[in-house]
C-alpha cells in the first residue's frame, strides 16, 4: 500500500482487454508508443507517484504480459473470461480487499499517458472533499466514441454512459464531458455495490462505469474532476488513436529537449523515447530515432537517418545511416556512415568505424580504426590498431563463438581473415589477403596465402575472338 495525505491507497490497472479494434493478436496494452508498451507507461507513472504496489488485472495474453513485466508477476490477477471492466474489478476484489487500503485508484490500461500530476489532481480532490467515487473527466468538442459524463439538473454526476448506449432523448444533449478511465473509489463504499453490476447494455458486458450510477442512486458522493481538453488522457482503441497518441508524446519529448538546450534539426522527424537522456549541447538531425535507455552527451552530434537504442554516445559524431544497439561510444569517436554497431560494442576515445563496417561484442581500443568494409566480432582490440578494408574476424565455428585479441599498434592488411581463437601480437602486421589461423608473435609479419604463379601463354582467353563490338 501507499500512503497519500495520511491515507492508505492501492492502485489497479485494467489490462485484460484483447483490443479487437487494434486488429492484432497482441494484448492491447503491449502495443507500443516510442518502443515502450502502453502498460509500461502506467506502471512507471504509478511508481513515480509513490505507489509501491499495483494490481494488474490481465486476461488475453496474460503470459505475454507476465513475461514482459517479470517484476510484477506477483501482482497479476487473471480475468479468465473477459466480461468487461466491471467484471475485471470484481475479479480483483479479493486482492484489493485483502490489502486493507482505504482508497483504490483504477486506471484503464489503454490510457497510458496519464501523468503523476493528473493522479495528484484526482487524489487531492478526493481526499480533501470526502468523495466516495471520483473520476477524471475531459471536455471535448467532439466526444466521439468515448463514454459520456451525465449530470443531473443540480450538476451532480449521475452516470457515465458508453457512447453506444447513449440515447439523446433519454440522456439529454451531450455536454462534451467525457470519461478518462481514471477513477478513485473509497473501498468501503465500493464494497456495497461492486457486485450489483449487470450486463444490460449494448455489449452485454459488466461496465465499471455503472458503478457511478449505482453510487448516485445510493446517494453516495460522486465527483468528476474536469481537466479540460487533455489529449494525453484519451484512450487508445484502434491503430489511428495509437499513432495519434504516440505522435503527441513524441512532440512533447522533442519540444522539452529543445527548451532545455538540445539542438534538434528537422524536429518533426525525430523520435526519442521517454527513457532516453539527451544532455543540453547535443546536436541531433532528423530523421533520427533514439530509444530505450540511450544517453547522448553534451557535444555529441547525431546526423540524419541514424538509429540508437540502449546506447551511450559521449562527445562523438555519428554519421548518417548508422544503426547502433546496446553500445558504448566514448569521446572523439567517429561512427559511420553506414555503420552497424551491435550489442556489447565499446568504442574507446578517438576510434573510427567507417562505411559498411559491422562490429559486434567487441572493444575497439583508443585511436584504433576500422574504416571500411569489415566485420569485427568478439574481439578485444588494443590501442592504435589499423584494420584494412575487407577484414573479417571468423569468430564462429558452427557451435561456439571464439575471441580474437589484437594488441596495440597492429596493422591488418586488406582482405585478411582472422580465424578465432587467435592473438595478433603488438606492433605486428598481417599481410593483405592472409587467412590467419595461428597466433602472430609481436613485432612480426604474418602472411598466410599461396605464392602467386603467372603461367605465360596459358591464358585460355588469349585466342578467343572478341565478339564485343565497339
Dist CA 26 CA 29 (whole Å): 8
* Alpha helices, DSSP H, located in 113-194: 116-129, 168-171, 187-193
Residue 125 C-alpha cell reads as 480532490
- What's 401's DSSP letter? B
Using alpha carbons only, give the angle 310, 312, 314 rounded to the nearest 5 degrees. Answer: 165
Per-position b or e across 187-220, b if 16+ CB within 10 A of its CB: bebbeebbeebeeebeeebbbbbbbbbbbbeeeb
Dist CA 384 CA 429 (whole Å): 13
Per-position b or e across 118-133, b if 16+ CB within 10 A of its CB: bbebbbebbbeeebbb
Which residues are within 8 A (CB) of 54 and not within 5 positions of it... i.e. 6 or more apart?
A: 11, 12, 13, 42, 43, 46, 47, 72, 75
Instruction: Return the SS3 of 369.
Output: strand
Cβ count within 10 A of residue 173: 7
Dist CA 278 CA 25 (whole Å): 35
Of residues 31, 60, 372, 402, which has the active-site annotation? Answer: 372
Which residues are within 8 A (CB) of 420 and not within 5 positions of it... i.e. 6 or more apart?
A: 378, 393, 394, 395, 401, 402, 403, 404
Is 257:278 a contact under the CB 8 Å cutoff?
A: yes
Does 372 qualify as catalytic in the annotation? yes
Per-position b or e across 84-100, b if 16+ CB within 10 A of its CB: bbbbbbbbbbebbeeee
DSSP calls for 112-123: TT--HHHHHHHH
- What's 164's DSSP letter? G
- What's 154's DSSP letter? T
Answer positive or negative: Cα dihedral of 268, 273, 278, 280: positive
Is 236:30 a contact under the CB 8 Å cutoff?
A: no
Residues labelled as active-site residues: 372
Amino acid at each position: 500500500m501507499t500512503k497519500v495525505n495520511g491515507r492508505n491507497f492501492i492502485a489497479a490497472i485494467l489490462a485484460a482487454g484483447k483490443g479487437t479494434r487494434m486488429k492484432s493478436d497482441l494484448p492491447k496494452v503491449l502495443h507500443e508508443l516510442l518502443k515502450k508498451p502502453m502498460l509500461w507507461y502506467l506502471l512507471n507513472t504509478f511508481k513515480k507517484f509513490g505507489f509501491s504496489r499495483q494490481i494488474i488485472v490481465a486476461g488475453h495474453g496474460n503470459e505475454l504480459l507476465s513475461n514482459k513485466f517479470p517484476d510484477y508477476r506477483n501482482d497479476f490477477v487473471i480475468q479468465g473470461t473477459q466480461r468487461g471492466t466491471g467484471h475485471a474489478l470484481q475479479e480483483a476484489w479479493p486482492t484489493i480487499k485483502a490489502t486493507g487500503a482505504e482508497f483504490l485508484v483504477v486506471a484503464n490500461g489503454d490510457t497510458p499517458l496519464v501523468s503523476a500530476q493528473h493522479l495528484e489532481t484526482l487524489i487531492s480532490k478526493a481526499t480533501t472533499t470526502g468523495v466516495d467515487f471520483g473520476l477524471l473527466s475531459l471536455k471535448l468538442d467532439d466526444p466521439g466514441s468515448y463514454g459520456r459524463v451525465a449530470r443531473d439538473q443540480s450538476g451532480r454526476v449521475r452516470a457515465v454512459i458508453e457512447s453506444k448506449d447513449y440515447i439523446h432523448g433519454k440522456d439529454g444533449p451531450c455536454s462534451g464531458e467525457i470519461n478518462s478511465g481514471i477513477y478513485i473509489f473509497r473501498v468501503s463504499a465500493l464494497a456495497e455495490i461492486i457486485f450489483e453490476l449487470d450486463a444490460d447494455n449494448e455489449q452485454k458486458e459488466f461496465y465499471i462505469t455503472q458503478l457511478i450510477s449505482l453510487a448516485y442512486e445510493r446517494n453516495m458522493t460522486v465527483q468528476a474532476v474536469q481537466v479540460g481538453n487533455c489529449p494525453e488522457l484519451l484512450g487508445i482503441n484502434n491503430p489511428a488513436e495509437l499513432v495519434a497518441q504516440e505522435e503527441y508524446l513524441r512532440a512533447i519529448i522533442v519540444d522539452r529537449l529543445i527548451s532545455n538546450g538540445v539542438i534538434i534539426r528537422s524536429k518533426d522527424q525525430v523520435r526519442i523515447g521517454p527513457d532516453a537522456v539527451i544532455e543540453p549541447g547535443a546536436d541531433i538531425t532528423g530523421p533520427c530515432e533514439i530509444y530505450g535507455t540511450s544517453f547522448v552527451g553534451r557535444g555529441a552530434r547525431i546526423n540524419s537517418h541514424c538509429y540508437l537504442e540502449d546506447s551511450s554516445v559521449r562527445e562523438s559524431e555519428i554519421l548518417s545511416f548508422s544503426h547502433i544497439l546496446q553500445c558504448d561510444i566514448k569521446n572523439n569517436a567517429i561512427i559511420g556512415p553506414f555503420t552497424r554497431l551491435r550489442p556489447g560494442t565499446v568504442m574507446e576515445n578517438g576510434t573510427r568505424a567507417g562505411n559498411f563496417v559491422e562490429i559486434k561484442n567487441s572493444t575497439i581500443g583508443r585511436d584504433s580504426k576500422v574504416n571500411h568494409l569489415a566485420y569485427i566480432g568478439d574481439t578485444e582490440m588494443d590501442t592504435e590498431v589499423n584494420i584494412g578494408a575487407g577484414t573479417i574476424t571468423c569468430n564462429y565455428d558452427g557451435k561456439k563463438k571464439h575471441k580474437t585479441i589484437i594488441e596495440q599498434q597492429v596493422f591488418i592488411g586488406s582482405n585478411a581473415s582472422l580465424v578465432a581463437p587467435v592473438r595478433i601480437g603488438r606492433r605486428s602486421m598481417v599481410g593483405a589477403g592472409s587467412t590467419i589461423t595461428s597466433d602472430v608473435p609481436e613485432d612480426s609479419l604474418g602472411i598466410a596465402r599461396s605464392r602467386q604463379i603467372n603461367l605465360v601463354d596459358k591464358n585460355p582467353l588469349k585466342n578467343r575472338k572478341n565478339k564485343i563490338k565497339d
